Amino acid sequence: MGKQTRNQKIVLKYHSALYFLFLLLFTDGLAQNQFQDFLRPSDSLNIQRRNAVVISEGVAITGALVGLSQLWYNDYKKSGFHFKNDNASWLQMDKAGHVYSSYHIGRFGAELLDWSGVSKKDQLIYGATTGFVFLTAVEVLDGYSSEWGFSWGDAAANASGTLLYVSQELLWEEQRIVPKFSFHRTPYAGARPDVLGATFSEEILKDYNGQTYWLSANIHSFFKESKVPKWLNVAVGYGGQGMITANDELVNTIFLPEKERTRQFYLSLDVDLTKINTNSHFLKTLFSIFNSIKVPAPTIEFRELGGIKWHFIYF
């Protein structure tokens, strides 16, 4: 299992734990007749909400790091703190995953503080940096493991994800460009299911060949006077294939019709779910959560080795 695969699982568990703890603290507020009021962001600082957010995030982060230390790193020998250069691995798809994860953990942290009525400044300082702090703490743990090592490439990607969110808030006071994710199944997972996934859910996390990371830009946000629908985006994507291992080892010992490692670049349409008008705070919450996923749409693929391919629907 690769380092980034493990980190992706950590991110999913972090989100799950945070949602669970957060809801537990507000069970009484989730009664059906109070649901809209509960989800509506506070106009001023709400101490109870802010404290609940801080407690939930603190418990989730601490639990994730302690769990990692006890359950994951105990399977590997400890070492003195050291660095590891893995920038050439997986055609940098893992680095794109770090940018994506850091951005959305930070975005979620900032939105929770906004829901609590915390000032914009504190949202950016204490909320938007959550992804960078959490994922960099994981890198420090890696630095003390003989199997891994602190990766400056990963740390830079973590910082880039946070910077992407913070800079847009400072410049435009809105998120005009959002990292998104999509996935499709590939034959590579069947060749090495222990590394690339044995089930669909595992393949989503492990098989870089089927992952695509996008930067989705909202057209109307850049052209306010245009008649373009406010929810319409244009997205640029990055993916790769031929990745059976992190680099090129074992590539000649496994049969696959195409084993040459190559990058793909994509141009597609997308939807900014947060720009869809609705008075329902429940729908706004759902739209915010799922706005991290690229909507399937017609797509043009540009291949690194030459050639253009048209996809009627790509995901």
pLDDT one-digit tens code per residue, 87-133: 988 999 999 999 999 999 999 999 999 999 999 999 999 999 999 99
C-alpha distances (whole Å) from 94 to each of 8, 152, 216, 240 are 9, 13, 19, 11
pLDDT, residue 27, reads: 47
When pLDDT is cut at 50, 70 and 90, the band that residue 69 belongs to is confident
C-alpha distances (whole Å) from 188 to each of 162, 171, 260 are 32, 42, 12
Alpha carbon distance 38, 26 (integer Å): 9
Answer yes or no: is pLDDT of 24 > 60. Answer: no
Per cent of the chain over pLDDT 70 is 85
Average pLDDT, the chain: 86
pLDDT, residue 254, reads: 59
When pLDDT is cut at 50, 70 and 90, the band that residue 275 belongs to is very high
Higher pLDDT: 18 or 275? It is 275
SS3 category, 3? helix
pLDDT digits (tens, 9 = 90+) for 130-146: 999 999 999 998 899 88
Q: With contact defined as beta carbons under 8 Å apart, do 159 and 104 qualify?
A: no
Which residues make beta-bridge pairs with 263? 240
pLDDT, residue 1, reads: 43
The predicted model gives 70-95 an average pLDDT of 86
Answer yes or no: is pLDDT of 267 > 60. Answer: yes
pLDDT, residue 147, reads: 81
Answer yes or no: is pLDDT of 217 > 50. Answer: yes
What does the buried/exposed string (b/e) look like for 9-18 if buried means 16 or more CB atoms within 10 Å of the residue's CB?
Answer: ebbeebbebb
Closest CA to 111 of 297, 284, 301, 312: 284
92-101, 201-210, 225-234, 253-262: least confidently modelled range:
253-262
The predicted model gives 242-252 an average pLDDT of 72
Higher pLDDT: 167 or 35? It is 167
Q: Count the Cβ atoms, other than its own, within 10 Å of residue 188.
A: 24
When pLDDT is cut at 50, 70 and 90, the band that residue 208 belongs to is very high
Answer yes or no: is pLDDT of 44 > 50. Answer: yes
